[in-house]
């Protein structure tokens, strides 16, 4: 009888586990069921490009049924997990019914949720950037702000509608600020009343520099490039409160003097690892969290780098010429996703 494996979550971790079991398991050895609330897997690092219209949503949301060849897929939300009976209850809202999935091994890869870190008003007056719906909602709100600004004669009110605040100096915040400014300036030429200088994008980071996951030189270079393009970079500060009148930083006070329908403040999502302290050690449950700075794809094989001081596990002096796992090709390092593995085979272990 095949071992029943139920995987909760179809992000990077859940999808990688399902595909790895398909490749490595013998015929009839395992039966894999993947559970997710959507029928696609989302490549979240490119959500800012979707919100700016640089790419279409379908480009970063491949359907799961097309990716999986041997595994079964169950669309729905997890209602409960019975660790004693080894079963998961999944509910499909459209069909208004619940199904019970027994398992021998349970893989928990549900990811994390957006955190506002207790900033007053952030839940109701900001736009997160975590899901496909968030990216589309952000784009629609940006277009509505442009249309509203085009109807105003007062320069101050028009600029208030075209002022956007991005909170977070990590990868998502930096990319969202750049994409947002590019989209606004490219669309402004279709609005006669909107000038190029009316658009204002403010990037607020709580640390002393941008991109703290990367070396100092790369963070400083990103800040310099954003400043040259017109993004206002505010360091060593953070959002103190957000309301309908705008966002207020802890040091500078009001950052975005806009009207209630004005520009949104986009918050940068910060993920927390999945906690496993409440899972009994006697059950066959596995909690997985894949760090996107330590996992990559080289020559079609997934590899996982060990923990190093550098987020991608290699020295900065060798980042331009790093060989892949099979030592057959040379590729440039992608600092966001660690596109290849380190040169030395002793620094990696295969996970698929």
pLDDT at 255: 52
DSSP string, 239-281: EEEEETTEEEETTTEES----TTSPPEEEPP---PPP-TTS-T
Residue 345 per-residue DSSP state: G
CA distance 58 to 171: 22
Residues 70 and 147 in one domain: no
φ, ψ dihedrals at 146, nearest 5°: -65, -45
DSSP, collapsed to helix, strand or coil, labels residue 199 as coil
Residues 169 and 244 in one domain: yes
CA distance 10 to 7: 8
Residues 92 and 128 in one domain: no
Residue 239, domain member (yes or no): yes
Residues 261 and 283 in one domain: no
Residues 145 and 229 in one domain: yes
Domain count, the chain: 3
Residue 185, domain member (yes or no): yes
Is residue 175 annotated as a catalytic residue, yes or no?
A: yes
Which one of 256, 290, 324 terminates a domain? 290
pLDDT at 253: 55
Residues 104 and 172 in one domain: no
pLDDT at 120: 87
Residues 250 and 140 in one domain: yes
CATH number at residue 140: 3.50.50.100
pLDDT at 232: 95
Residue 191, domain member (yes or no): yes
Residue 260, domain member (yes or no): yes
Residues 231 and 187 in one domain: yes
Residue 329, domain member (yes or no): yes
CA distance 166 to 173: 6
Residues 46 and 79 in one domain: yes
Residue 350 belongs to domain spanning: 294-352
The catalytic position among 49, 74, 141, 175 is 175
Residues 225 and 187 in one domain: yes
Residue 195, domain member (yes or no): yes
Instruction: Show pLDDT as tens, one digit a residue, over the chain (352 residues).
Output: 899 999 999 999 999 999 999 999 999 999 999 999 999 999 999 999 999 999 999 999 999 999 999 999 999 999 999 999 999 999 999 999 999 999 999 999 998 888 888 888 888 888 899 999 999 999 999 999 999 999 999 999 999 999 999 998 999 999 999 999 999 999 999 999 999 889 999 999 989 999 999 999 999 999 999 999 999 999 998 888 887 776 666 665 555 444 322 233 443 333 333 333 333 333 466 665 444 333 333 343 333 333 333 333 333 333 333 444 434 343 333 333 334 444 444 443 443 3
CA distance 334 to 341: 11
Residue 117, domain member (yes or no): no
Residues 218 and 350 in one domain: no
Residue 303, domain member (yes or no): yes
Say what the pTM is.
Answer: 0.70
Residues 309 and 280 in one domain: no
């Amino acid at each position: 009888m095949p071992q029943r494996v139920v995987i909760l979550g179809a992000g990077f971790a859940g999808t990688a586990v399902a595909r790895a079991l398909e490749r490595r398991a013998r015929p009839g050895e395992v039966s894999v069921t993947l559970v997710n609330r959507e029928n696609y897997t989302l490549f979240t690092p490119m959500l800012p490009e979707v919100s700016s219209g640089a790419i279409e949503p379908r480009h970063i949301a491949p359907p799961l049924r097309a990716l999986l060849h041997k595994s079964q897929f169950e669309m729905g939300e997890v209602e409960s997990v019975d660790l004693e009976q080894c079963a998961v209850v999944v509910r499909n809202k459209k069909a208004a019914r619940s199904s019970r999935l027994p398992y021998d091994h349970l893989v928990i890869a549900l990811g994390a949720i957006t955190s506002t870190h207790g900033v007053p008003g952030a839940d109701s007056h900001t736009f997160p950037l975590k899901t496909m719906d968030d990216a589309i909602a952000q784009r629609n709100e940006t277009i509505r702000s442009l249309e509203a600004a085009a109807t105003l004669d007062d320069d101050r009110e028009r600029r208030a509608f075209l002022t956007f605040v991005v909170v977070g100096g990590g990868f998502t915040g930096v990319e969202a600020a750049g994409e947002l400014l590019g989209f606004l300036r490219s669309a402004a030429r279709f609005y006669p009343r909107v000038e190029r200088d009316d658009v204002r994008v403010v990037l607020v980071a709580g640390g002393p520099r941008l991109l703290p996951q990367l070396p100092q030189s790369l963070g400083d270079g990103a800040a310099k490039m954003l400043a040259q393009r017109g993004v206002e970079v505010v360091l060593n500060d953070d959002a103190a409160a957000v309301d309908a009148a705008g966002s207020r930083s802890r040091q500078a006070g009001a950052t975005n003097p806009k009207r209630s329908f004005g520009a949104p403040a986009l918050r940068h999502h910060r993920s927390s690892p999945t906690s496993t302290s409440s899972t009994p050690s006697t059950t066959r449950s596995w909690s997985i969290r894949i760090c996107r700075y330590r996992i990559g794809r080289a020559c079609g094989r997934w590899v996982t780098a060990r923990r190093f001081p550098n987020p991608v596990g290699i020295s900065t002096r060798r980042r331009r010429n790093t060989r892949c796992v099979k030592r057959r090709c040379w590729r440039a390092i992608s600092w966001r996703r660690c596109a290849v593995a380190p040169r030395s085979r002793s620094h990696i272990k295969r996970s698929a």
